[in-house]
A = this chain, B = another copy of it.
Amino acid sequence: MGINIRKQHVLEAIVESHIATAEPVSSRSIARKYRLGVSSATIRNEMSDLEELGLIEQPHTSAGRIPSQSGYRYYVDRLMKNSSLTTQEKKIISSIFAQKAKAINNIIQRTIKTVTHLTDYLVLLSWPQLENAALKKIKVLPLTPDQSLMVIMTETGWVESKVIDLPSGMTPDSLERIENVLNTHFQGLTFPQISRTILHSVYDELLKQRKLLDRIMGIVEAVLQENADEGIFLGGAYNILKQPEYSDIAAVRNLMSFIEEESILRSILQKTNPTEVTVKIGKEINYDPAAKYSVVSAVYSIGGNVVGSIGLLGPMRMDYARAIAIIEYITGTLSETLSKDVLY
């Protein structure tokens, strides 16, 4: 029993109808709405075969069929037609990036908000992570007699700065010396590579400035920690409640239980393929509480370096074609903008 053209048409009809209505799809409704030129009885036979193949399933005997996880997978891989955004939608997205104030923070926030309005799904956005970025330079800049600004720059163009209080009796000279030592030891390394050993050798070399060094190390640690703990934004939690599958409180609780856990969202996004839009369906997400969801995601980059990703999380029944179109367009435009002229 192969999957002939007609079976494909039937499967396609089932998937698309179910995506549109959230209801099980009956043979009769397919015969009516999709002109396949056969009667409902024939479609019933095909459906019976599709069920045996595991592509669709029946919630109960006297209900229509809904696509199974593999049904969606088959649809996404082989049946789905590309969708593209309307010019108006593209305009809306462009307007995110057209604004004058181009602080990265701002762009990210507006990106989330816009995508949120464009879909009824949950928008996940992972923030540029320092973790994989190599350090380019550390600067300790004098601000006032007793305060300095420590600036940490990475190869990807990321800049983090923190104010530190200086111990009394600190000369500009010794500050410069510290700066030099730090740069010599840390340059080119990623944060996780700055090991205890390296820290110790720095300590040895700057034994006299122990006190200040402690503060600086505290900051490095803090920056590290911040960038390990943060970096996921989320929008559209309200949106997703519009979907009929969340008219039941248990589903909402289940959803809420994991969207507040940043580490989980991060791990979901981390599986994004860096070269193309990734679609994870149901158990493919590999996280039990999300087994009834799907994620469409893609990475974005600054000057060729992947810095984060954007994903849409929705019910398995999500409109994949549209989600893919949106994600594709937004990551493209975002990468382009970030690579051009962003203020950090």
Chain A residues with CB under 8 Å of chain B are 100-103, 105-106, 109, 137, 139, 141, 143, 149, 151, 153, 159, 161-165, 215, 218-219, 221-223, 225-226, 229-230, 235-238, 241, 246-249, 252-253, 256-257, 260, 341, 343-344
Contact = CB atoms under 8 A, between A and B. Distances in A.
**Chain copies in the assembled complex:** 2
Which secondary structure dominates chain A's binding surface? mixed
A6 to B, nearest CB: 40
Given A101-B218, A149-B159, A221-B101, A257 B229 contact: no
Given A109-B229, A162-B103, A252-B252, A151 B153 contact: no
B164 A153 contact: no
B238 A260 contact: yes
B100 A343 contact: no
Contacts of A219: 103, 343
Contacts of A260: 235-238
Contacts of A246: 249
23 contacts: A100-B221, A101-B221, A102-B222, A103-B225, A103-B226, A105-B230, A106-B226, A106-B229, A143-B153, A149-B159, A215-B343, A218-B343, A222-B343, A235-B260, A237-B237, A237-B256, A238-B253, A238-B260, A241-B256, A246-B249, A247-B249, A249-B249, A252-B252
Contacts of A257: 238
A225 B101 contact: yes
A139 B139 CA distance: 15
Contacts of A149: 139, 141, 149, 151, 159, 161
Given A102-B222, A103-B222, 18 more contacts: A100-B218, A101-B225, A102-B218, A103-B223, A103-B226, A105-B226, A106-B222, A106-B225, A106-B226, A139-B149, A141-B141, A143-B153, A149-B161, A159-B161, A163-B344, A215-B343, A241-B256, A252-B252
Contacts of A236: 260
Contacts of A256: 237-238, 241
Contact of A162 (B143, B222, B238, B344): B344
